[in-house]
Amino acid sequence: MYTSEEKHLLFYQKLGELFYSIAASDKVVRKSEYDSLKQLVKTEWTTIDDYKDAFKTDAVYQMEIVFEWFNYEQMDADQCFQDFSEYYKENASQFTPERKRLIWKTANKIAAAFSGKNKSEVIMLSRLRLLMQ
């Protein structure tokens, strides 16, 4: 069983995994995609809650850490999306309408960050839309 702190950290880690899967869907993660995530984390995600990690840092930064780590490890985008999807289904109560709106906004911003949305990103966004309905 997870503690409350661990649940919040895992939530944001799974979002980092999701956002990585969107960026990596075309097999290339560009700096502009990561920068889009960082900008939205700073301007919008940090205002959602006050959860901190063990180092007293805002837990939302786990999204950036996981995104960067998965990119370094060159994780498989489809597997990352599948892992997020399973987490989503098992923890649906954590996904409030406000969080869903911000997840959608962030995913779209990442997908459009480099020359607009390509086919792979549109497909991944469609999968996300279906999942969150």
Tens digit of each residue's pLDDT (9 = 90 or more) over 1-41: 567 678 889 999 999 999 999 999 999 999 999 999 999 99
What pLDDT is stored for residue 8 in this prediction?
85
What residues make up the domain containing 123?
Answer: 4-132
Q: Cβ-count burial of 121 within 10 angstroms (0-12 exposed, 13-18 middle, 19+ buried)?
A: buried
Q: What total number of domains does the chain contain?
A: 1
pLDDT at 56 over 90: no
Kindly compute the dihedral angle of the four CA atoms of residues 115, 126, 27, 71, in this order, to the nearest 10 degrees.
100
What's the mean per-residue pLDDT of the chain?
91
Is pLDDT of 96 > 70? yes
Whether the predicted model's global pTM rises above the 0.85 cut: yes
What the block records as the tokens of 57 is 């840092």
* Cα 110 to Cα 121: distance, rounded to the nearest angstrom: 9
Residue 110's closest CA among 40, 33, 41, 44?
A: 33
